[in-house]
Structure 1
Amino acid sequence: MQEPLLARLSQFYRRTQAVLVLAILFPTVFTTAVGIVSLALYSEVKDIIFGVLTITFAIGITLGFIIVVLLTKKSQELALKQTLFLANVSHELRSPLTAIKMYAQTMERGRTPENTDLCVQQILSATDRLDRLIQQILEWKRITNKSESIQPRLCNANLPAQDTVDHFLSTHPNADEYLTIDFMVEPPEFELDRDSLERALYNLLDNAFKYTGENRAIGLTTRMVTEATKVDRFFEYRVSDNGQGIPSEHLAHIFDVFYRAEGTLTGASGVGLGLGIARSIVVSHGGSIFVESEVDRGSCFIIRIPLTHTKKNNENGKGTKKST
């Protein structure tokens, strides 16, 4: 259903641009021709002035037309992305709702202990999926409306990562079989929003889960990074996986909202908000986020947060290095 709708919208925008071209091109060409003829055939001052003004007017129309086309193209791209986003949201909402309805009907037809346990488990799983989707949409709304700013507090740099692991283990059964963590021992303390950074890291872990197969291996690492100048220091969070990787032509847009690399990746669920939300959170901390990826080898998403207002760790803030 998505492709025909997007095709119709694209066709509509192309026709609109064609109408604009015809509506402006012919009058502009005619006006320019009149100005050139006036300059070429007449020598009186008023005719020369008329010719110059006519050509200037034509140039102004042309420049205005170019600006309109560029703005229209940008609006077209945004509208297409939003349309795809709405289509994805509709699909993502419909899938768990269908599952809930199906298992509820199964329970209604006949209840046995085994049947009930399975249905309840599947219904809870579907409601968790719905909740994650709704939370993503609400978070993106808060970010775009700037109705919620980060609340930095002096914090052990490993804590957002540990919170992420705890959250991920609670929502992904058997995650301890493929998730490996390697946290910096005695990390620094600096000002960050622990909750929002945990959400960014969770989005990266969840994204890694979606795009890896049965033999998945996902890693979460924290470490200190010092730039070549040895002046700027950053705390780095790395989320790596052994998935299918991201083709190079998609890397420049992978953090754009509503963007999904359709046609090259598996049919993973999602609406194209997770990475955009992660980038917004990281940028609000003054940090940067980027990805290193190789097709059929996997990807590594890297978050770097500049260390400001750092404080030497106390005993309660020491990190540990471990694997789950």
Structure 2
Amino acid sequence: MILIVDDAPENIISLKKVLEKNGFEVDTATSGEEALKKILNRSYVLIILDVQMPGMDGFEVAETISGFSRAKETAIIFLSAASANVNLITRGYSSGGLDYISKPVDMNILLLKVKTFYRIYEQSRALNEMQKALRAEIEFRKEAERKKDEFISIASHELKTPMTSIKGYIQLLERSIKKQDHDTSLQRLEKVQNQIEKLNLLIADLLDISKIESGKLKFHIQSFNFATMLENLLEVMQQSNNQVKIRYIPGFTKEVEGDEMRLEQVIVNFISNAIKYAPDATELIVRTEDQGDVLRFSVQDFGIGMSHEHTQRIFDKFYRIEETSERFQGLGIGLYICQEIIERHGGKIGVVSTLGEGSTFFFTIPIHSQEN
């Protein structure tokens, strides 16, 4: 949009006609005061400003405009019937003008200048957009780097913890063996095995995240009985976690086409998290539901729960809830991997949670595979 400011209506009419004929959108003002009101309410690419006007002259208008944030990128061309002299030109440029044309106006020259300023404006706008995009990209690189460094730190800590425990238990085991204390030796051996299992799970997660990033996470799709798999898995998990009752409410008996091992991985993650984040609870509930061609699986705990803000990000890669990160161990990638597994099955994953009351993690998958 171009704003023409001139106290002579005949000048406005002739300029407006030529500019509109050449495809430019034009607005007009017959005084400096009227021009300022319009500039306060809308943005202009270019202002063609008469120098000699009653009231505010063109230089005063330009000097005032220079303080408007809305007109920061607006170009100004001065028009004057007076012969151009050094003082006039100098004042024009110092007032914020970018060019100067004497009357009577050569329309060809004016059009050339207008087209040039429009091209500069478009290039400037494109450059600004590129700069914004670049700044956003740089911030995204910085954030990714921060998350990577944080992840490496967390992973190092999480891997070191079971390794330290294993080393300590082995030293204790060695002592009990020397004393021929068979019962104590078995107890300490069991603790070593538990720590090794934790280590295996951490390493498996690290390998899976690497495969996801490289697009090499493999799936072996076949038909299997989901209920049988789940019952066997729950039996093992109940034996390993006898401090909490795993209550199973079955509602699905059909065959499912999917990767049995990967779906087991998701279920183990859900149940392990439910036990971890509900340390004082005595029960958790596992449900399966038949929704026609879709299986719905859920695990409900009665633990610490989480806020709505956290439920929106809990499946993000490397996301850990700061308030619980010191109290509960984890790499912040387990649920991200679960999401990848469920989405690769054509399903959906989610959580419903109330802070202080518990969480229900769930997934739904079609019973017939969508993999080629």
**TM range, smaller chain:** 0.7 to 0.9
Q: Which residue is 2:278 aligned to?
A: 212
User: What's the secondary structure of 1:292's corresponding residue?
Assistant: strand
Q: Which residue is 2:214 aligned to?
A: 145
What's the CA shift for 1:245? 0.5
User: Whose RCO is larger (CA < 8 A, sep 6+)?
Assistant: 1
Matched, 1:41 2:100: yes
- Pick the aligned partner of 1:199 from 241, 265, 285: 265
Aligned ranges 1:46-61 → 2 under 5 Å = 46-61=112-127
CA separation of 1:41/1:168 partners in 2, compared to 1, >3 Å: closer, same or farther? farther
Take 1:71 and 1:261, find their aligned partners in 2: how far apart are those partners? Answer: 25
Matched, 1:181 2:248: yes
Q: Which residue is 2:143 aligned to?
A: 77
Q: Which residue is 2:332 aligned to?
A: 272
Indicate the structure (1 or 2) with the bigger Cα radius of gyration: 2
Structure 1 alignment gaps of length 5 or more: 1-30, 227-232, 310-324
Contact 1:81 1:259 in 2 (8 A): no
Paired positions, count: 271
What's the CA shift for 1:131? 0.8
Take 1:214 and 1:246, find their aligned partners in 2: how far apart are those partners? Answer: 16
Q: Which residue is 1:247 aligned to?
A: 307
What's the CA shift for 1:212? 0.6
User: What's the secondary structure of 1:299's corresponding residue?
Assistant: strand
Take 1:284 and 1:130, find their aligned partners in 2: how far apart are those partners? Answer: 26
Contact 1:38 1:50 in 2 (8 A): no
Matched, 1:132 2:198: no
What's the CA shift for 1:39? 5.5
What's the CA shift for 1:190? 3.1
Contact 1:157 1:190 in 2 (8 A): yes
Contact 1:212 1:244 in 2 (8 A): yes
Take 1:39 and 1:167, find their aligned partners in 2: how far apart are those partners? Answer: 80
User: What's the secondary structure of 2:323's corresponding residue?
Assistant: coil
Take 1:167 and 1:67, find their aligned partners in 2: how far apart are those partners? Answer: 52
Q: Which residue is 1:92 aligned to?
A: 158
Task: Report the TM-score, using the length of structure 1 for normalisation.
Answer: 0.75
Give the counterpart letter for 2:100 in structure 1: L
Take 1:60 and 1:35, find their aligned partners in 2: how far apart are those partners? Answer: 20
What's the CA shift for 1:247? 1.0
Take 1:135 and 1:155, find their aligned partners in 2: how far apart are those partners? Answer: 24
Q: Which residue is 1:238 aligned to?
A: 298
What's the CA shift for 1:280? 0.7
Take 2:150 and 2:236, find their aligned partners in 1: how far apart are those partners? Answer: 29
Greater helix content: 1
Contact 2:208 2:217 in 1 (8 A): no
Take 1:48 and 1:39, find their aligned partners in 2: how far apart are those partners? Answer: 11
Take 2:76 and 2:226, find their aligned partners in 1: how far apart are those partners? Answer: 69
Task: Report the TM-score, using the length of structure 2 for normalisation.
Answer: 0.66
**Cα deviation 1:74-113 (Å, max 9, x = unaligned):** 2233222222221111111111111122223334556331
Aligned-residue RMSD, C-alpha:
2.7
Take 1:142 and 1:213, find their aligned partners in 2: how far apart are those partners? Answer: 32
Q: Which residue is 1:16 aligned to?
A: none
Take 1:182 and 1:62, find their aligned partners in 2: how far apart are those partners? Answer: 58
User: What's the secondary structure of 1:191's corresponding residue?
Assistant: strand
Give the counterpart letter for 1:305 in structure 2: I
What's the CA shift for 1:182? 1.8
Q: Quick one: percent identity of the two aligned structures?
A: 24
Contact 2:306 2:353 in 1 (8 A): yes
Structure 2 alignment gaps of length 5 or more: 1-71, 78-95
